[in-house]
Amino acid sequence: MKHTKSEKLYQAGLENLVGAVNSPVRAFASVGGNPLFIERADGSKITDVDGNEYIDLVLSYGPMIIGHRHGRVRRNIRKALIKGYSFGASTKSEIKLAKILCDAVPGMDKVRLVNSGTEAVFSAIRLARAFTGRDKIIKFSGCYHGHADSLLIAAGSGLATLSLPGSKGVPDAAVANTLIANYNDLDSAKKHFAEHDDIAGIIIEPIAGNMGVVLPEDGFLQALKTLCEDNGALLIVDEVMTGFRSQFGTAHELLGVKADITCLGKIIGGGFPVGAYGARNEIMEMVAPLGEMYQAGTLSGNPIAMAAGIATLSELRDQNPFAKFEADAKTIEGALLTAAKRHNIDLVINRYGSMINPFFTKIPVTNFAQAQTSDTKKFAIFFWAMIHAGVFLPPSQFEAWFLCSALSDEDMAKIVKAINKAMQAVAEA
């Protein structure tokens, strides 16, 4: 498999792009080599500029849940394109997408559409502070909630991939009101409430997807909700990655907890830049123009993005592929564990719904510190062996793999075969 054209584009990109990329994980820093440049995609496949085709388990880091360029989505985008691209004014499609989201998320009466997951999260935090009249937020080590200053601390995959503890350019004052707790460690959150009386809320990924795939232990999310209720704080659940990936709705509902504020993104835009945050009326009526918490965006509710999101969610609801996701994830898990055992390689698999991740470690992974015990050198060997076998993975040990409903039986067989080859490559390295 040759990557000559990707190499040339990488060299060309170095002149005017930072590291030849527009998002750090695309730089392949933790797996070695240079990034692949993608030319097109269709269904479950993605093709690079050299003509190499891969089964895609990145899926734009989650949004392409029904596969690339789905016909229903394309048709809806075309209809919207004919009418115009952006108006800076309200459109009917915003109301339609908002209703789909509110109907799917219990306890979410109103929603504000924005342009990215990052924007949804920092707006949700501002809202929690406005509603409670408090300043401090608790976040969990290894959870990534976008690149807002106050959240770029102990922030999971992107920083871990590049071995960065935080980010330069973030002043101490920006994180002064951010308190760090350990995922699946209730006492670490309780300690903050014991020491501070001005905590506005807790923000958490219900399934942490930015330190691999890390699940909450039984009762953990419920205990956090109770902790918030007992202390007059709000539970903000970041479902930018997990929303609509385990059911038609949110993961936190499946896990038996009710968020005060829910953040959404990725899938709800069908591949276009969209985010959203929503809550019960009492909270959302704090947002301008109804209330004094200001947040705005010229491109929020962009009609093309709305068209893609409406079609994607409508198709996902009609397909209801969640049982298939469970079966496909179980097949991949079995293939990974069997191949690892055959070659005496330490491996732990975490999965939930249509998200899965192998950790090259021998201990269970329930938090960020445990995830970081993974052998990233083995993952790098595994990654490139999978690439050469025609399977496109996230170029980081700490990023989740995503499944789409377009995966065929043939695709699954090829993934299993690639896993066997990749594990052998790890064993022989």
167 pLDDT tier (thresholds 50, 70, 90): low
Choose the CATH number for 4-66+321-428 among 3.20.20.80, 3.10.20.30, 3.90.1150.10, 1.10.10.10.
Answer: 3.90.1150.10
Q: Which of 168-182, 289-303, 308-322 has the lowest mean pLDDT?
A: 168-182
Catalytic residues, which ones? 144, 238, 266
CA distance 94 to 108: 16
pTM exceeds cut of 0.85? yes
Residue 150 has pLDDT above 70, yes or no: yes
Q: Scanning the structure block, which residue is given the tokens 């994830």?
A: 329
Amino acid 190: pLDDT: 96
Nearest to 268 by CA among 221, 228, 301: 301
pLDDT tens per residue, range 120-147: 999 999 999 999 999 999 999 989 898 8
Q: Which residues, other chains included, contact 163 with Cβ-Cβ below 8 Å and sequence gap of 6+? A: none
- Average pLDDT on 336-355 reads 97
Measuring CA to CA, which residue among 44, 59, 45, 65 is closest to residue 317? 65
Please state which architecture CATH assigns to domain 71-318. Answer: 3-Layer(aba) Sandwich (3.40)
**Arithmetic mean of pLDDT over the chain:** 94
Give the confidence band of 164 by pLDDT, cuts at 50, 70, 90: very low
| Domain positions in the chain | 4-66+321-428, 71-318
